[in-house]
Structure 1
Amino acid sequence: MQDVIVIGGSYSGMAAALQLLRARRKVLVIDAGQRRNRFVDQSHGFLGQDGNDPTAIWAEAKRQLEAYPTLTWRDDTATAISGGMDDFRVTLQSGEEVSARRILLATGVSDALPDVPGLAERWGKAVFHCPYCHGYELDQGRIGVIATGPMSVHQAALLTEWGEITFFLNGAVALESDQREELTVRGVAIEETPISRITGDADIELGDGRVLSFAGLFTATRTDPAGSLVEQVGCALMATPIGSQILTDESKQTSIPGIFACGDTARAPHSVSLAVGDGAWAGAQVHRSLIWP
């Protein structure tokens, strides 16, 4: 019997595990190896690690966790959760069943990308979602924003801080007059011709044959908790402007007593820094629940 099983061994999950390990609690981390930022070569905006390879950041964090004798790490996927407070059981894809007093979900999110030919292949390389993470490196160049819904209007207006913006409506959003006026005031060029495909590094080919080149592209993906585990266990969800996330209280506990959640799957907006902070808070709260149920 573990004290806590952390499902998800990325940044928030490891940050939570660290607090628990330093409280000398027995922690099992189950990691499927699907970090959300696995497509990028550099992580930005994380104090002390700015510009470093996210894989190297993750590997060093894992090495530090492994120095604690009460850690157990499984490279596996959790497929089901049963039981309840103080006696949870987690089934792994390998067939193993493990037990713990508490569960912490740090499973991350899945990104639903717009259906634009050539976009998925450039995700994390020339197409991004967070200007704070990737805007600076575009060096105030031309930036294309591909609309996916209402949040894209905000994204296009915000990105004027990082470069010259062209906003591609692409049939995904109908601008109100006040929105159009705000974008115009902020210097955003509005392009209503549908996109045919993305080519080259970050070139957008339009339906009328024009090709516009950019330093980089941004789009607002829809994010939902990754995998089917959250649905299987029955945690309540809440809607966000960019999708859905697990509903938690101030202590990061979900609607199910004894199951907690942290990181991108349980908060918005998203970044490595915010995930680490959320994980550290969640780890401390899980520990306190073991003392004062």
Structure 2
Amino acid sequence: MMHDVIIVGGSYAGLSAAMQVARARRKVLVIDAGQRRNRFSETSHGFLGRDGHAPGAIASEAQGQLLAYPTVEFISGAAIAASGEIDAFRVDLADGSTVEGRRIVLATGVEDVLPDVPGLAAQWGIGAMTCPYCHGYELNRGRIGVLASGPMSLHQAAMLPEWGQTTLLANGVFDPADPQLADLAERGVAMEFATVAAVEGEPGSPVVVLSDGRRLPMDGLFVATRTRIVTPLPQMLGCAIAEGPQGPYVATDAMKATTVPGVFACGDVASPMASVAISVGHGALAGAAVHRSIIFPQTVAKAA
């Protein structure tokens, strides 16, 4: 069976893209491996109409709404390879099966790579997070630690006093220059230069243990993680990869077309900025654009 669109990734961006295609009465296949990036978080914030809801519940309800459309098929499984060209793409699945489609939308997401600090992973998504807009308000202007992981941590620390009493934990990653220290001080950010030995405490109540034995209870920790693309599919298809401040992502134009004709990308895999709201918006753009590329094939071109 030749699908009009194959969407690899069935989280917020992929489901949003699929909805646009389904509402155009086109045959759309969604392939999802079930590894949402925010699966560690108990609640999602900042998405209009669903603020404070469980991330899994949002995705599950969206999937149910999508499957009400008769032209939609959903496969729970991993896509392990992709090849072909416009109007003749092929995607191989981990179970040995193969599907074909005229267009592909990559919505596979990314993976967060945490600093190698004992105990940090146990807090991830609960007491340690990356986005203040998603999780800062709930800290009630409490004690916030920023665990340095690279240059982006300076920007993150300068932002966070909006949400609480902020301490930048340099952790030996970098030594801020005097102008940077002055900027942080002006924003009310405290500095801690001792190395972080571990993160302890119950999930949601992190305690930073320093190398000199001091213990700093925090209401929340923020980390500017590195990210990595979780699948080789973009490279297999020949998509150009851009380098963002936190890691690589698939390069697209404003309508989410990649550098390969007929291949689109949306969500975290195609943006250096991440949130449920942004992913849903970019997915809607990609879905509309991929549909238009089918009905107006003469407009299909490589992304700039």
TM-score normalised by the shorter chain: which range applies?
over 0.9
Of the candidates 217, 230, 233, which is equivalent to residue 213 of structure 1? 217
Distance 2:207 2:237 in 1: 43
The answer to whether 1:204 aligns with 2:208 is yes
Task: Find the counterpart in structure 1 of residue 133 from structure 2.
Answer: 132
Q: Give a deviation string over 1:194-233, Cα, whole Å, max 9, x none.
A: 0000001310000000000010100000112222222333
Distance 1:74 1:31 in 2: 6
CA contact (8 A) 2:117 2:199 kept: yes
Residue 267 of structure 1 aligns with an amino acid whose one-letter code is: S
CA contact (8 A) 2:118 2:199 kept: yes
Q: After TM superposition, what 4+ stretches of structure 1 lie above 2 angstroms from structure 2?
A: 227-234
Distance 1:26 1:114 in 2: 42
Q: Give a deviation string over 1:160-196, Cα, whole Å, max 9, x none.
A: 1000001001111221221111001111110000000
The answer to whether 1:237 aligns with 2:241 is yes
Percent sequence identity over aligned pairs: 55
**When the two structures are superposed, what TM-score results if normalisation uses the length of structure 1?**
0.98
CA contact (8 A) 2:83 2:89 kept: yes
Distance 1:251 1:45 in 2: 23
Aligned residue pairs, count: 293
The answer to whether 1:8 aligns with 2:12 is no
Q: CA deviation at 1:109?
A: 0.6
Task: Find the counterpart in structure 2 of residue 280 from structure 1.
Answer: 284
Query: Equivalent residue of 1:158, what SS?
Result: helix
Task: Find the counterpart in structure 2 of residue 105 from structure 1.
Answer: 106
Task: Find the counterpart in structure 1 of residue 22 from structure 2.
Answer: 21
Task: Find the counterpart in structure 1 of residue 192 from structure 2.
Answer: 191
Q: Give a deviation string over 1:8-35, Cα, whole Å, max 9, x none.
A: 0000000000000000000000000000
Residue 243 of structure 2 aligns with an amino acid whose one-letter code is: A
The answer to whether 1:290 aligns with 2:294 is yes
Mapping 1:70-85, distance limit 5 Å = 70-85=71-86
Query: Equivalent residue of 1:36, what SS?
Result: coil
Distance 2:255 2:210 in 1: 48
Of the candidates 234, 243, 263, which is equivalent to residue 259 of structure 1? 263
Of the candidates 222, 225, 231, which is equivalent to residue 229 of structure 2? 225
**When the two structures are superposed, what TM-score results if normalisation uses the length of structure 2?**
0.95
Q: CA deviation at 1:256?
A: 1.2
Q: Unaligned stretches of 5+ in structure 1? A: none
Q: CA deviation at 1:250?
A: 2.1
